[in-house]
A and B are shown apart, each in its own frame.
Chain A
């Protein structure tokens, strides 16, 4: 079904699910921001925010409220329209990614055939938004930061897509729900984390660079560029940039959880060997499947978010030439090798499984 038909026939569904995605993104933005502060505190052996609410849970709310009541400063010589729209252009790709992510067996907004390509496509707007912000600010630090960011994002997008191709080859589909179902059939050891281990590592590094997070946060390297492309932004618009950064992080973690960790697949209480069916047997059926699926999905996503934050507070920032070398000269060849390996291994399994040779167990992971 094309988007136009979807809109014409299901505009109500589109509206409701779109709003739900927005609520999901905002809620997780809140939790992730809090998690970032607490985790960085934990890593640096301090307590982090403790005053506002239990364990500082309300601190993020207080911060956001503070940002929202600040004056919306527009410097005099900026390219006014571009300066004003940049935050809103930036948040479009971050939210559009959630359209294709399956949150549960039936919880997916638009199950496109071209899921992975669509994710890659909407991500390109992030580059344009960065450029709009950098150019609109009319500030050399902003522009330099934006151009660095554009170079970095465009280089790592290639690597990112290449690292995911292996998964598409294994599942035989670009549709995210098909990929999850294919992993569900294969059991825990069959999750693409194991056969696509190289792809997973490359994806993790490349998505860090795509997110512009430390250790790859070169476009806002404060020792070199003040604050990069959002030097001139304040108050409300700065808050939106912050939102975009964290929603992007959640989105890339969610995609990694879907592609490599099995998405919503996971055991439910009814799967416990002896007592499960007797005690929790009533917790089955389509609605409960979606609830458990959603819980597993959130768990896996937060596991990855935890790792991403951990990396940020552990590693020092790299230099721009090191970053480019890593992307083009190491990660891209490795991900190409991963595609080759996946093809060979899949072919090997297909050939040997027919002949029944015992050698086939070498290729079992890629079955």
Chain B
């Protein structure tokens, strides 16, 4: 049991437990906070995989921006239903029925991955100690090879912003 296994185990447990709590938490605000915890521990796994840049962005975008946005949405939309569990009668059945579906899907995924893992020619070991991918390299690649996707992404964000404003703005005469 080395430090790597140990830290991965802890992070994975936190990730899965908090993701599980997102599904089962009674209050939707609790679900949002569990989701933030899940994002944070995923960012810890990114740090383990030596991707500092992506880990920081994960925290910045997911744990920071998206969680806050979702909290705002909760406060603005479901404030009347915050303390009420919807559809108490059918909820247990729902969980059981689609939990089964999720288990089946997960097993199919796992079987497929195991099959690919053992049958294919991919190397089983990681490339030894590659050194860190610097922000400079990421930026250089982003602005040379991926200039067009980058611009498209910025247009997408602009459209999302305009769309959100138009959808939520109150109509004024």
Using a CB-CB cutoff of 8 Å, which residues 115-159 of chain A contact chain B? Answer: 117-118, 120-125, 127-128, 131-132, 135, 147, 150-151, 154, 157
A1 touching B132 by the CB < 8 A rule?
Answer: yes
B57 at the interface (CB under 8 A from A): yes
Shortest C-beta distance, B11 to chain A (Å), equals 9
Minimal Cβ-Cβ distance residue in B for A6? B47
Q: How far is the CB of B69 from chain A (nearest CB, A)?
A: 8
Per the CB 8 Å criterion, the residue count for chain B at the interface is: 29
A189 interfacial by beta-carbon distance below 8 Å: no
| Contact digits for B45-77, partner A, Cβ 8 Å, 1 yes 0 no | 001111011001101100111011001100100
The A contact surface, by secondary structure, is helix
> Are A127 and B64 neighbours in the complex by a CB distance under 8 Å?
yes
Q: How far is the CB of B24 from chain A (nearest CB, A)?
A: 16
A154: contacting residue among B29, B50, B68, CB under 8 A? B68
Closest to B45 in A: A4
Q: Which of A8, A127, A147 contacts B75 (CB 8 A)?
A: A147
**What is the bound-complex CA distance between A113 and B75, given in angstroms?**
37
- Whether a CB of chain A sits under 8 angstroms from the CB of B33 is yes
Chain B hits for A174, CB < 8 A: 135
Q: Does B134 interact with chain A (Cβ within 8 Å)?
A: yes
Say whether B56 contacts A121, CB under 8 Å: yes
Q: Is B7 an interface residue (CB 8 A)?
A: yes
**How far is A114 from B67 in the complex, measured between Cα atoms in Å?**
22
- Distance in angstroms from A131 CB to nearest chain B CB is 6
A341 to chain B, nearest CB (A): 20
Closest residue of chain B to A143 (Cβ to Cβ) is B75
> How far apart are the CA atoms of A213 and B53 in the complex, in Å?
31
Which residues in B have their C-beta under 8 angstroms from that of A125?
59, 63-64
Contacts of B44 in A (CB 8 A): 3
Once the chains are docked, how many angstroms separate the CA of A301 from the CA of B79? Answer: 43
Q: Are A118 and B72 in contact (CB under 8 A)?
A: no
A8 and B60 contact, Cβ closer than 8 Å, known pairs A3-B47, A114-B52, A128-B67 = no
Binary per-residue interface labels of chain B (84-106) against chain A in the complex, 1 for a CB within 8 Å, 0 otherwise: 00000000000000000000000
Distance in angstroms between the alpha carbons of A121 and B63 in the assembled complex:
9
Query: Once the chains are docked, how many angstroms separate the CA of A122 from the CA of B75?
Result: 24
| Secondary structure dominating the interface of B | helix
Chain A, range 202-246, C-beta contacts under 8 Å to B = none
Q: Mark B131-160, 1 if CB is under 8 A from A, else 0.
A: 010110000000000000000000000000
Residue B4 at the chain A interface, CB threshold 8 Å: yes
The answer to whether B4 touches A4, judged by C-beta atoms less than 8 angstroms apart, is yes
How many Å lie between the Cα of A2 and that of B45 in the bound state? 11
User: Across the interface, do B47 and A2 meet the contact criterion of CB distance under 8 Å?
Assistant: yes
Please state if A4 and B7 are interface contacts (CB–CB under 8 Å).
yes
In the complex, the answer to whether B56 meets A117 with C-beta atoms within 8 Å is yes
- Indicate if the CB atoms of A117 and B53 lie closer than 8 Å: yes
Closest Cβ–Cβ distance, residue B12 to chain A (whole Å): 13
Q: Which of A2, A113, A122, A128 contacts B134 (CB 8 A)?
A: A113
Residues from chain A with a CB closer than 8 A to the CB of B30 are 82
B162 within 8 A of A: no
Q: Which residues of A contact B59 (CB under 8 A)?
A: 121-122, 124-125
Asked if A191 CB lies within 8 Å of chain B CBs, one says: no
Known: A124-B68, A151-B72. A4 touches B52 (CB 8 A): no
Q: Are B33 and A118 in contact (CB under 8 A)?
A: no
Whether, in the assembled complex, A366 has its beta carbon less than 8 Å from a beta carbon of chain B, the answer is no
Closest CB pairs A-B (n = 9): A124-B64, A121-B59, A121-B60, A8-B3, A2-B50, A3-B47, A121-B56, A117-B56, A4-B48
**CB within 8 Å of A: which residues of B?**
3-4, 7, 29-30, 33, 36, 44, 47-50, 52-53, 56-57, 59-60, 63-65, 67-68, 71-72, 75, 132, 134-135
Q: Beyond the given A4-B7, A113-B135, could you list 8 further A-B residue pairs with CB under 8 A, ordered by the A residue number?
A: A3-B48, A7-B7, A113-B134, A121-B57, A121-B59, A125-B63, A131-B71, A150-B72
25 contacts between A and B (CB under 8 A): A1-B132, A2-B48, A2-B50, A2-B52, A4-B3, A4-B7, A8-B4, A113-B53, A114-B52, A117-B57, A117-B60, A118-B52, A121-B57, A121-B63, A121-B64, A124-B60, A125-B59, A128-B68, A131-B33, A131-B71, A150-B72, A154-B64, A154-B65, A154-B68, A157-B64
